[in-house]
Amino acid sequence: MKALYVKNPGAIDKDTSLSALPVETASLILNVRIHLYNMKESGRSNSMDEVIERISTLEGRVSEHDRIFDMIREEIRGLREYIDGRIDDTNARIDDLRLDMNGRIDDTNKKIDDLKSDMNGRIDDTNKKIDDLKSDMNGRIDDTNKKIDDLKSDMNGRIDDTNKKIDDLKSDMNGRIDDTNKKIDDLKSDMNGRIDDTNTRIDDLRLDMNGRIDGINKRIDETNRRIDETNKRIDDTNRKIEEMDIRLNRRIDSNFKWMLGIQIAMWITIISAILLH
């Protein structure tokens, strides 16, 4: 049970402290003291029975609280003994655990020392193998460098020979190119001459063809003119035939049929003569 505390008013009693009492008890005592003080100040004494009754009630409550406090103290003492026992057990277990951990740590340290010794031996062996490999690789590298130098010398000689052949080939090709260019120039000059001759012949042929085309066009125009005249004569002849046909149709009878035949024959002869002309 948690206790609440109040301050003692100094105007009532400076020597008495209520801080160790529960709040209900302290409040009751405080009220009694205030009541007694008020009675003393007012000069009243006829309420002493009431005061005595309140004090008795207060003493009963204080006794009850004392009994509760004794129970609480007993509980606290038992709890403290239980906690002390648990602490002793825990300390014993901690000591046992410390001993066990120290043993394990010692074993681990021994294993680490053994592993360290083994690893140092292996590292020494590895370093020796590395040194041996390094020595072997240096020898091989020296041999390889010598082969590279020999190959380089041989390749330089071959490259020099190849460069000489390239220079000779270049000189020969330049000569051939010069000859080819000269032949091209000669061919170009000859072709230009032939092209000029061909252009002249083309111009002459163009003039001749233009003259012939003009003559053909004139003949075509003349032929077209004659065709137009012939068509005109044919149209006139057809018109006359139609007129004659109309006249003949008007005059035909049995007595003039033979004359019609003669006239038709004559006109046919005339038309044939015109067409042949």
Q: What is the mean pLDDT of residues 172-191?
A: 84
More confident residue, 26 or 78: 78
Q: Which two tokens stand for residue 230?
A: 């012939």
Q: What is the mean pLDDT of residues 219-244?
A: 80
Region 72-94 average pLDDT: 81
Question: Between residues 57 and 42, which one has the greater pLDDT?
Answer: 57
Q: Quick check: 274 and 233 in contact, CB under 8 A?
A: yes
Residue of higher predicted confidence among 66 and 18? 66
Percent of the chain with pLDDT over 70: 65
Of 261, 239, 265, whose CA–CA distance to 252 is shortest? 261
Q: Which residue has the tokens 């080939």?
A: 169
Model confidence, pTM = 0.26
pLDDT of residue 220: 84
DSSP designation for 233: H
Joined together, the tokens standing for residue 260 give 């019609």
d(CA 129, CA 137): 12
Closest-CA residue to 25 (of 48, 46, 5): 5
pLDDT in tens, 160-169: 888 888 888 8
pLDDT in tens, 253-263: 555 556 655 66
CA distances to 197, 233, 240, 277 from 268, rounded to whole Å, are: 61, 14, 12, 14
- Contact call for residues 56 and 71 (beta carbons, < 8 A): no
pLDDT score for 11: 35
* Residue, of 55 and 148, whose pLDDT is higher: 148
Please name which of 34, 70, 64, 75 lies closest in space to residue 51, comparing C-alpha atoms. 34
pLDDT, residue 5, reads 33
Q: What is the mean pLDDT of residues 99-121?
A: 87
How far out from the chain centre does Cα 96 lie?
64
The pLDDT of residue 2 is above 50: no
Residue 37's CB is within 10 A of a number of other CB atoms, namely: 14
Q: Assess whether pLDDT exceeds 50 at residue 8.
A: no
pLDDT at position 119: 86
